[in-house]
A and B are shown apart, each in its own frame.
Chain A
């Protein structure tokens, strides 16, 4: 075993085991709640969390990051489960894994820098809103006791950590309130009413779907969306864990690892998952630094389910909904309100569009794509603004060009020049400009030729060397009337 691998696994044994246990406890309610969002048995999310955490601890690129069944992924798969059922979800999970492996192999992580921050902020906000909306049916307008239990859950999860941090507060809320509900015989909806818990280890099976083109047509759009959403959240989480631990990570290996984890998980009856920001932060804060912490989180989770499965079905839904409301509050970027006011108009618009598209379509990947497209268009619009200032001096007219001259800015460039003048000395100064492509060169040609038709003398100055190169290669105007002077 290499030195590096040894430190990644056993460099922090005590801290990793303890933090892994804490994360396992915090994972259980989330895995169950996300299964319910996706519309499948809690076991699908629990098996996924177990498989993904264990596999990613070996093949991931970011030690101490926690991956499992997540809300972002669950939200994407809702329509697939509703229309086609669990087996198609498992097939889609396997395909998601294959897509992510391919993307990881082609070093998809490099593309992350093209995703603007405004889109990422929109992503987490939309995620929080959707998870919250998914909770509403579980507590709204059911009974007074339901409201009481949601309120009690929130009270516990927000006040207990101030005095006692060793056990995750959501688990305390579950144990205390489930016990109270059972002892006092309160009539509340339970997890058991929404699905079964089977106290067995996951086993290998091939999803029962016909292997044909039709199946592929059904699952492919979901798999692509899942792959995008999973990688996005995983790579964002990796950056956060990098920052918290002040260490680097291999993002492409992580992308491949996410693919392997999902691929295998699909064969063991688990739903697609990805890295979780909240759980990873809990892990690092609890002292987790190595791969062992993720491994322990997955392992301990399944042990708990095997031992306590019968109790899990008795968890009241309002308690789970309360915990999910806490997750939403933690997921939402509350500085966004300030951001909308203070950030540049374009960025604020991109963030809002991302959120609106997600909330309207219930598909995080669509919001992200829309956000990226909009910010690309805004960027092109911004960069294609070109400024030409005219100044006259001793019979010489100088045009100062400022900005990027390329296909999107050539039209406004050409219109800035009044080419009807005659017998003038014209200087076009490119000191503050860059000439990018052949349409830019064509535009310069056009302006120079028009001036020359009216017997003006045109001089071009201040080209930087890259601009000069492209002009020398492509321009025609200097063939017509001697050489260009470039100072």
Chain B
């Protein structure tokens, strides 16, 4: 039985589907907490700071990306918390999952940036290779 599920989300359609699958799982275990993680990409930091009025506005902007996922979790009465990581999406998620010893990591099969995926490989692929816990990839 799962107590701590990590849901990696970036606001994409795939991550919404991943949220739906997570809800199916979490609903089966009353004590389960879902931790939603989003990565604020190093490469976007400069852009974000240049275009944000203040750091609190920037935080709000990032939280807004997760709004649809949070809404899904709320309407299904799943207990959850949100964590924003800073780094490169793949490694940041893996490091956090390994460090927190989560029992299951759920991630969408592809994210927002198709070009980056073509050049660097998908985030989910990197995560599967290096995570020390079971990983569920949602198509």
Chain A residues packing against B (C-beta within 8 Å): 113, 117, 120-121, 124, 162, 236, 239-240, 242-246, 277, 281, 284-285, 333, 335, 339
Contact indicator A117/B47 (Cβ below 8 Å):
no
Interface of B is mostly: helix
Q: Are A240 and B45 CB-contacts (below 8 A) given A117-B52, A117-B53, A333-B50?
A: yes
Among residues of A, the one whose C-beta sits closest to the C-beta of B40 is A243
**Which residue on chain B has the smallest CB distance to residue A239?**
B49
CB distance from B63 to the nearest CB of A (A): 15
A245 CA to B85 CA in the complex, in Å? 9
Can you list 5 A-B contacts with CB-CB less than 8 angstroms, sorted by A residue number?
Answer: A117-B51, A239-B49, A243-B49, A335-B47, A339-B51
B49, B86, B120: residue with the most chain A Cβ atoms closer than 10 Å: B49
Residues of A within 8 A of B53 (CB): 117
A281 contact set on B, CB distance < 8 A: 42, 45-46
Given the known interface contacts A162-B119, A239-B55, the answer about A244 and B50 at a Cβ–Cβ threshold of 8 Å is no
Task: Give the distance to chain A from B116, nearest Cβ to Cβ, in Å.
Answer: 11
Lowest 7 A-B CB distances belong to which pairs? A246-B86, A244-B45, A240-B49, A243-B45, A239-B49, A240-B46, A240-B45
| Residues of A contacting B54 in the complex (Cβ-Cβ under 8 angstroms) | 113
Q: Is residue B48 within 8 Å, beta carbon to beta carbon, of the partner chain? A: yes
Evaluate contact between A121 and B48: CB separation under 8 angstroms. no
List of A residues within 8 angstroms of B52 by Cβ? 117
Q: List 17 additional contacts besides A121-B50, A236-B50, A244-B42; criterion CB under 8 Å.
A: A113-B54, A117-B51, A117-B53, A236-B49, A239-B55, A240-B45, A242-B55, A243-B48, A243-B58, A243-B86, A246-B84, A246-B86, A281-B42, A281-B45, A285-B88, A333-B50, A335-B51
Inter-chain CA distance A242–B120, complex, in Å, is: 26
In the complex, the answer to whether B50 meets A117 with C-beta atoms within 8 Å is yes
With the chains together, A113 CA to B53 CA distance in Å?
A: 8
In the complex, the answer to whether A244 meets B86 with C-beta atoms within 8 Å is yes
Please indicate the chain B residues that have their CB under 8 angstroms from the CB of A240 in the complex. 45-46, 49
A243 and B55 form a contact (CB under 8 A): yes
Assembly CA distance A88 to B40 (angstroms):
44
Shortest distance from the beta carbon of B93 to any chain A beta carbon, whole Å: 15
Chain B residue nearest to A335 (CB atoms) is B47
Alpha-carbon gap, A284 to B46, bound state (A): 12
- What chain A residues lie within 8 Å of B49 (beta carbons)? 236, 239-240, 243
Known: A117-B52, A243-B40. A333 touches B120 (CB 8 A): no
Chain A residues contacting B58 (CB-CB under 8 Å) are 243
The residues of A that contact B47 with a CB separation of less than 8 Å are 333, 335
Chain B residues with Cβ below 8 Å from A339 are: 51
Given A240-B49, A277-B46 in contact, is the A245-B86 Cβ separation under 8 Å?
A: yes
Please measure, in the bound complex, the distance between the C-alpha atom of A246 and the C-alpha atom of B37, giving whole angstroms: 15
**Nearest CB on A from B125, distance (A):** 16
